[in-house]
Structure 1
Amino acid sequence: MAIKTKVRKIGNSYGIVLPKEALQALKVEEGATLFLTEAPNHTLNINPEQPGFGEVMQVAEEGMRRYRNTMRELAK
């Protein structure tokens, strides 16, 4: 499913407005916390807050930082 939206200026920042269909697909409501995670090919994944998700991402980022050289070699 592809949902089209535009980047808009909001105060001194930029943002996107998620249409109703996107909110329904994510199963979130107004005020929900969403996580943007970097994905291949200059894309982002949008994930609703899940219990423990933030902690898992911190551990993953620390592991990637700590084993950066190993990850780079494995990617070859």
Structure 2
Amino acid sequence: MNTTIRKIGNSEGVILPKEVLDRLNIKAGDQLSIIETAKGFTLEPVDDSFERQMKAAREVMDKYKVALQKLAK
């Protein structure tokens, strides 16, 4: 499968075919990780589960800040 580098505003980019988006289970707005390999580059969806878990943990810690401080003593 081939694609072309195109001018997008002041940048340049690659348009990914719908088949590739479907195969990676990604859509517009999702983040990709670019990994350099010996043969070129690979694209992988960013796993944001850790970030979501940390956000939830921070919300709980903020909500129960006083109780957690008392438990820490």
The DSSP-based 3-state class of the residue aligned with 1:31 is: coil
Higher gyration radius (CA): 2
> Structure 1 stretches (4+) deviating beyond 6 angstroms?
none
State the 1:44 CA deviation. 0.3
Runs of 5+ unmatched residues, structure 1: 54-76
State the 1:37 CA deviation. 0.8
Count of residues in Structure 1 that have an aligned counterpart in Structure 2: 50
TM-score by length of structure 2 reads 0.61
Aligned to 1:5: 3
Which of 21, 24, 36 is residue 23 of structure 1 equivalent to? 21
What whole-Å deviation, never above 9, does each CA across 1:23-68 have from its counterpart, x for those lacking one? Answer: 0111111111001110003x00100011368xxxxxxxxxxxxxxx
CA RMSD of aligned residues (A): 1.7
